[in-house]
């Protein structure tokens, strides 16, 4: 028995995996998806709601949700955790496994229930935020998974003696196909921001390719804090070879990947990029910085000429590898890419590995206490209404 505990909005790889994992687990054991449905969207922008994403993926059987008002989104994190706790206790039998998203309120809820349920945390990225959460709530975690060897090694070095294992999140292989003839184009997919995704190197690699006389085109899929900056920089440099496509849904991404030759990943850090897994399943070659997750493929003989890595910031080598990939015409390579994806990243294999892991765990002996429910509810209602009035004035 497994319950996935998730914040309200689709944020990318983490949430798309949670939906796919939930649907996969439902095939062989009882599973629930715990989330909320905001009455007003304060923080999600144009991103889909999880309840809508779940509905698109199948029936809403065992999707447990309530309407969330201002006191949920604009109140305290403890109140948000209480809402999740009540939804779990009312609908999920004790002893089940709880798997939370990367939202701290979800981690708190699972910690509160740690003596009643098996609390399994997932470290999705080589990001200090995950290691802070792990250390903060370690006493209430039955076990954790890391999406790459690097993430696991960093977590283990924190000194926490908690059962753990490396399991990539996984993808639905059947959702991705490779076109019989690929377009000679490059895709970049992700949040358009600098801290993690290093979007400035899209410009730098494009300039390097142009200076080398390489014929190329790059399609950038995604939105984010540096979107306008990137658009302005591309215009300033006259880089018409780079097109910004904005937000694309899963089906649109799959279509673009099916026809593209190369996925470019410029990140400063990652976990195990969903875009990389999807690209391999679509028969794309991958040129990436040497970051968590994708670097685990570097020693696999089958990944040679399929996954090519360069050091973060080394745009000259990045451009050289992209140019090399654009000149590789061996028809076997897309098939090889799909074989690698099937070997390591099929959702079926990854969730079976999860099952083997959490089946051996037990609920903990201690749980995180929460503040008084009535006081926290009143506090959140007051705080939420004040913040809501401010929001109305601005909007």
Domain count, the chain: 2
- 310-313 CB contacts, 8 Å cutoff, 24+ apart: 312/198, 312/267, 312/268, 313/198, 313/201, 313/289
**Beta strand extents in the chain (DSSP E only):** 2-5, 31-34, 37-38, 63-64, 67-68, 97-100, 118-123, 143-146, 164-166, 186-189, 218-221, 242-246, 262-265, 285-289, 307-310
Q: Which of 220, 222, 195, 193 is nearest to 205 (CA)?
A: 220
Tokens for 225?
């804090």
CA–CA dist 345, 224 (Å, integer): 27
Do 236 and 216 have their domain in common?
yes
Say what the pLDDT of residue 156 is.
84
Distances (CA, A) of 330 to 142, 147, 285, 337: 47, 31, 11, 12
Say what the pLDDT of residue 247 is.
86
Residue that the structure tokens 């006493």 belong to: 139
Q: Report CA 82 to chain centroid distance, whole Å.
A: 25
CA–CA dist 130, 155 (Å, integer): 9
CB atoms within 10 A of CB 159: 8
CA–CA dist 292, 309 (Å, integer): 11
Do 116 and 218 have their domain in common?
no
Do 282 and 192 have their domain in common?
yes
Do 114 and 47 have their domain in common?
yes
- Its sign, for the CA torsion 163, 165, 168, 173, is negative
CA–CA dist 245, 348 (Å, integer): 31
Do 310 and 203 have their domain in common?
yes
Do 201 and 278 have their domain in common?
yes
**Burial class of residue 356 (count of CB atoms within 10 Å of its CB; 0-12, 13-18, 19+):** exposed
Tell me if 230 sits within 8 A of 202, measured CB to CB: yes
Do 99 and 230 have their domain in common?
no
Say what the pLDDT of residue 143 is.
94
Say what the pLDDT of residue 219 is.
96
Do 36 and 22 have their domain in common?
yes
Do 145 and 198 have their domain in common?
no
Positions in the chain short of pLDDT 70: 41-46, 158-160, 384-385, 388, 391-392, 394-395
Q: Which domain holds residue 87?
A: 2-170+347-394
Name the helix (H) or strand (E) containing 175.
none
Q: Which of 305, 321, 345 is the C-terminal boundary of a domain?
A: 345
Tokens for 216?
């190329």
CA–CA dist 2, 28 (Å, integer): 11
Tokens for 372?
């008084």
Do 305 and 333 have their domain in common?
yes
pTM comes to 0.83
Q: What pairs with residue 310 in β-bridges?
A: 289
CATH number at residue 246: 3.40.50.2000
Do 21 and 140 have their domain in common?
yes
Do 160 and 75 have their domain in common?
yes
Say what the pLDDT of residue 305 is.
87
Q: Which of 278, 367, 276 is nearest to 81 (CA)?
A: 367
Taking only the tens place, the pLDDT of each residue in 121-175 is: 999 888 888 999 999 999 999 999 999 999 998 888 765 678 999 999 899 999 9
């Amino acid at each position: 028995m497994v319950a996935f505990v998730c914040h309200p909005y689709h944020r990318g790889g983490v949430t798309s995996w949670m939906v796919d994992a939930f649907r996969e687990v439902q095939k062989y054991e009882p599973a629930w998806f715990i989330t909320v449905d905001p009455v007003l969207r304060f923080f999600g922008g144009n991103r889909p709601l999880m309840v809508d994403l779940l509905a698109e993926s199948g029936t809403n059987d065992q999707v447990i949700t309530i309407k969330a008002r201002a006191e949920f989104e604009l109140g305290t994190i403890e109140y948000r955790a209480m809402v999740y706790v009540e939804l779990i206790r009312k609908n999920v039998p004790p002893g089940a496994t709880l798997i939370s998203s990367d939202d701290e309120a979800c981690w708190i809820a699972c910690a509160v229930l740690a003596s009643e349920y098996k609390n399994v945390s997932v470290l999705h990225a080589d990001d200090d935020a995950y290691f802070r959460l792990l250390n903060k709530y370690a006493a209430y975690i039955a076990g954790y998974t890391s999406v790459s060897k690097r993430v696991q090694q960093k977590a283990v070095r924190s000194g926490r003696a908690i059962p753990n294992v490396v399991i990539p999140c996984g993808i639905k292989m059947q959702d991705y196909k490779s076109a019989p003839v690929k377009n000679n184009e490059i895709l970049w997919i992700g949040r358009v921001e600098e801290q993690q995704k290093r979007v400035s190197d899209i410009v730098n690699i494009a300039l390097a390719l142009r200076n080398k006389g390489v014929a190329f085109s790059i399609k950038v899929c995604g939105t984010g804090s540096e979107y306008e900056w990137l658009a302005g920089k591309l215009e300033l440099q006259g880089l018409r070879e780079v097109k910004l496509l904005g937000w694309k849904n899963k089906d649109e991404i799959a279509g673009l990947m099916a026809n593209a030759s190369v996925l470019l990943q410029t990140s400063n850090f990652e976990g195990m990029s969903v875009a990389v897994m999807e690209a391999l399943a679509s028969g794309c070659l991958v040129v990436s910085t040497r970051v968590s997750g994708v670097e685990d493929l570097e020693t696999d003989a089958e990944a040679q000429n399929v996954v090519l890595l360069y050091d973060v910031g080394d745009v000259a080598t990045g451009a050289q590898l992209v140019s090399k990939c654009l000149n590789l015409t061996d028809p076997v390579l897309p098939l090889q890419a799909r074989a690698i994806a099937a070997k390591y990243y099929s959702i079926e294999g990854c969730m079976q590995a999860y099952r083997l892991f959490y089946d051996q765990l037990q609920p903990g002996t201690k749980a995180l206490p929460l503040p008084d429910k009535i006081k926290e509810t009143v506090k959140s209602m007051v705080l939420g209404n004040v913040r809501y009035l401010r929001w109305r004035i601005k909007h």
